[in-house]
Structure 1
Amino acid sequence: MNDLASVAVPGRTRCEGPVVRAALRRAAPALLAYAAIRALGVIVLALWSAADGKSWHTLLTARWDSLWYSRVAEQGYGYTVALPDGDVHSNLAFFPLLPWLERGLSALSPLSAADAGMVVAWVTSLGAAWALYATGERLHGPRAGVALAALWAALPVGIVQSMAYSESLFTALAAWGVYAVLTGRWVWAGVLASLAGLTRPVGAAVVAAVWITAAVTLWRERADGAGLRAALRRHPGMLPGALLAPLGWCGFFLWVGARQGSFTGYLEVQEGWGNGFDGGLAFGSFVWQQLSGPTFAAGLGLAVGVGLVIWLYVRGVRQGQPLPLAVYGGTVLLLALTAKGYFGSKPRLMLPAYPLLLPLAVALARRRPVWSWLVIGLVAAGSAAYGAFWLNGSGPP
């Protein structure tokens, strides 16, 4: 097997260097396409910001959640802001892996914590693009892999991938973790799922991909007459991988609970931000308000957008999307759509749901290259313009 997942599996003696170099050579077109699209986004942002009298650098490193991450990196946890309406915003809402990396990189270099966060985002976004290419290549061939990485770069809110936010870091860990499940590298899958769980709350989606795939694999083995021990022997590393997977997410959840003096302490912190999960009732009410008021056009666009992402998920499943991808993508989508709070953040929350793009990538891969790149180029130009407009306006969170 020539994929990256075979590089560093315990017990293998094959030379790792040539495998990595071969994988990188195959991924090079995807990485170049990804970097070009994101560079276009940053250049358009810089020009737009200059015309608007703002700093593109500040927009990418020192606004919104970026400030909270860098404050955790510099001062640790414990900072809160009490708002006039009674809400309390605590930095305990932010998972620790990105601030840890910001602190470490700024300690080893002249970079500030905020600039270190942007560097982490830029580097890990390339790692995510590599994982997306590897996934598309394995399932549908090299052209689909390139298209998948390019489409992810050209998402309307793709500019977030270049910000000092945790989306790029999380997507890199999640995509390689899901790829490890896909290729049966269970220990790596568990380690990467645990790290993803230290990065964002949606790390639970990677844990779900590991656990459900492992459970279904064992169930199928037993249905074929194999005993549990025999099934586990056929899949070395499955049990330790499954045990490792939730450690990051659960560890932070329990640590915040102990710090807050309540098992549900993290949920209470999120409630202070107006976040949480209500099965989509608040979001559904918001959409209905848009449809039934003077903002009907915006509400209609929102409803169409939600319908499109659901259709893409169903389409992927019907095309035979492997179980780890279907579970991961579906869980990210479910958590995004059922969360309450600031509804403008939902496109950003769905940014790591890259399996939704697979049907589009497959369709582009089947077209003539000139038409595929024309479509990707137009989408990338639109993404760059929208990203500049968005960050110079309301922007995240």
Structure 2
Amino acid sequence: MLGAAWHAEESPWGGRQPDYLTFIDRWDAGWYERIFDGGYPTTIPRNENGTAQPNQWAFYPVFPLLARGLSAITGLGWPAAGAIVATAAGLGAALMIYVLFKNFASPGTALWGVAFFAMFPISPVLQVPYAESLGVFFLAAALHFLIRGNYWASLPMVVLLCLSRPAGVPFAAVVLLHLLLRWQKRQPFPARDVVAGTVLLLASGVMAFAWMLIAWWVTGERTAYTDTETAWRGSELVLFKPWFDAGVDLVGPLWGPVLPVLFVGLAALYLNSRAVRLIGLELRIWCAMYMLYLLAVLHPQSSTFRMLLPLFPLALAAAFISRSRAYRWSVLVMFTLLQVVWVVWLWQFSAISTGQAWPP
């Protein structure tokens, strides 16, 4: 990050060669800073034809609220407070992932899985004022408690997850399938667990749409959240369509529509591979549901790499592929080099033909 900052030109967030905290306070971090300073607007800003403009409602509240709390206690401003919260959450996520992975692997293999997560090519985002590290921490905790059957402990983690990152829909699907599978197994399913699991399922379903409802309540506009989310893409949300459009843009109209289908096929094969089967059914279901969620709602662009971070259970699968230290260290070296590529390629500001820039 410091090396990239040394080569940075002037940008909307600062002048040439900014210091570290200024350099990492870009793109989404700038929106969180607006929330930190002034909260959320009570009306959705729109242009003359009524189209929503980018605004704070696309960004969830837990991360900036924690930064505000740290600031109130220490007197730190946004750049330092945001970076400290993000980095501390990244450490917490790594520790929580280790606990989660030990449900399926020896401590040594679990630690290698954490190493793969921590050195993943986009892992530098865990230190910048984005909500990724916080979301991963709550997700890992919620999955751990769900797998252990501690549904009441999973409940607050799900609530905080759904107010940190948009991951409620795939998680609710995981809870539903977990409960159905447990119900079908010929194992004890005490009434207290049935009640707790049902409450968790209902809460997950409600929280999946909670931020959308809050935006509606505050602004008085039913489509406040969805209009805001689609403001960056410049078109209405049509499920699955952006991936087919991206395929056409990449390889043309003949083979373009085949790319998403090929992606789904390859993902299905990988999720059924020997190494992935070793991570447990719930983690496999989470990865499948999250991939399906991204396929349904995500507009593929440069931020897609960052959106893959919640697929961290596959880091354990990567550790299961081989016990060879040469293999495992080679993966870490490769990831380290790709970190440099990601930071230099996407963290630098460079305008593109549309007048915007590639966001990390």
TM-score tier, shorter chain, comes to 0.7 to 0.9
How far 1:247 moved relative to its partner?
5.0
Identify which of 127, 143, 150 aligns with 2:108: 143
> Is the 1:124–1:168 contact (alpha carbons within 8 Å) kept by the matching residues of 2?
yes
Aligned equivalent of 2:354 = none
> Is the 2:70–2:81 contact (alpha carbons within 8 Å) kept by the matching residues of 1?
yes
Corresponding letter in the other structure for 1:326: R
Corresponding letter in the other structure for 2:337: A
Corresponding letter in the other structure for 1:292: G
Distance 1:302 1:343, change over 3 A: farther
How far 1:75 moved relative to its partner?
0.4
Within the alignment, does 1:57 sit opposite 2:15 as a pair?
Answer: no
Output the CA distance in 2 between the equivalents of 1:280 and 1:243.
26
Within the alignment, does 1:351 sit opposite 2:309 as a pair?
Answer: yes
Within the alignment, does 1:273 sit opposite 2:232 as a pair?
Answer: yes
Output the CA distance in 1 between the equivalents of 2:315 and 2:271.
9
Output the CA distance in 2 between the equivalents of 1:139 and 1:258.
43
Output the CA distance in 1 between the equivalents of 2:146 and 2:206.
17
Within the alignment, does 1:66 sit opposite 2:8 as a pair?
Answer: no
Deviations 1:115-145 (A, max 9, x none): 2221111111111111222232221212321
Within the alignment, does 1:319 sit opposite 2:277 as a pair?
Answer: yes
Normalised by the size of structure 1, how large is the TM-score? Answer: 0.75
Task: Give aligned pairs, total.
Answer: 341
Aligned equivalent of 1:288 = 248
How far 1:341 moved relative to its partner?
3.4
Output the CA distance in 2 between the equivalents of 1:76 and 1:316.
47
Within the alignment, does 1:127 sit opposite 2:92 as a pair?
Answer: yes
Aligned equivalent of 1:27 = none
Distance 1:74 1:318, change over 3 A: closer
Within the alignment, does 1:377 sit opposite 2:333 as a pair?
Answer: yes
Output the CA distance in 2 between the equivalents of 1:290 and 1:340.
17
How far 1:214 moved relative to its partner?
2.1
Map residues 328-367 of structure 1 onto 2, 5 A cutoff: 328-341=286-299, 343-364=301-322, 366-367=323-324
Output the CA distance in 1 between the equivalents of 2:166 and 2:339.
26
Output the CA distance in 1 between the equivalents of 2:7 and 2:231.
37
Corresponding letter in the other structure for 2:23: L
Structure 2 unpaired stretches of 5+: 9-15, 350-356
- Greater Cα shift, 370-379 or 95-104: 370-379
Map residues 98-247 of structure 1 onto 2, 5 A cutoff: 98-220=63-185, 231-233=190-192, 237-246=196-205
> Is the 2:246–2:300 contact (alpha carbons within 8 Å) kept by the matching residues of 1?
no
Distance 1:172 1:234, change over 3 A: closer
SS at match of 2:157: helix
Corresponding letter in the other structure for 1:360: A
> Is the 2:275–2:318 contact (alpha carbons within 8 Å) kept by the matching residues of 1?
no
> Is the 1:186–1:236 contact (alpha carbons within 8 Å) kept by the matching residues of 2?
no
- Greater Cα shift, 255-264 or 270-279: 270-279
Corresponding letter in the other structure for 1:382: L
Output the CA distance in 2 between the equivalents of 1:68 and 1:125.
20
Taking only aligned residues, the RMSD between alpha carbons, in angstroms, comes to 3.3
Output the CA distance in 2 between the equivalents of 1:232 and 1:84.
57
Aligned equivalent of 1:28 = none
Output the CA distance in 2 between the equivalents of 1:317 and 1:278.
34
- Greater Cα shift, 243-252 or 108-117: 243-252
How far 1:50 moved relative to its partner?
0.9
Corresponding letter in the other structure for 1:57: L
Output the CA distance in 1 between the equivalents of 2:270 and 2:74.
43
Distance 1:343 1:106, change over 3 A: same
Deviations 1:350-394 (A, max 9, x none): 211112333212124x11x34422431232233234323321145
Deviations 1:81-139 (A, max 9, x none): 55689441221121111121111111111221232221111111111111222232221
Structure 1 unpaired stretches of 5+: 1-44
SS at match of 2:54: strand
> Is the 1:198–1:249 contact (alpha carbons within 8 Å) kept by the matching residues of 2?
no
Corresponding letter in the other structure for 1:396: P
Output the CA distance in 2 between the equivalents of 1:195 and 1:300.
38
Output the CA distance in 1 between the equivalents of 2:27 and 2:54.
13
Output the CA distance in 2 between the equivalents of 1:317 and 1:331.
18
How far 1:309 moved relative to its partner?
5.3
Output the CA distance in 2 between the equivalents of 1:216 and 1:140.
22
Distance 1:345 1:58, change over 3 A: same
> Is the 2:139–2:161 contact (alpha carbons within 8 Å) kept by the matching residues of 1?
yes
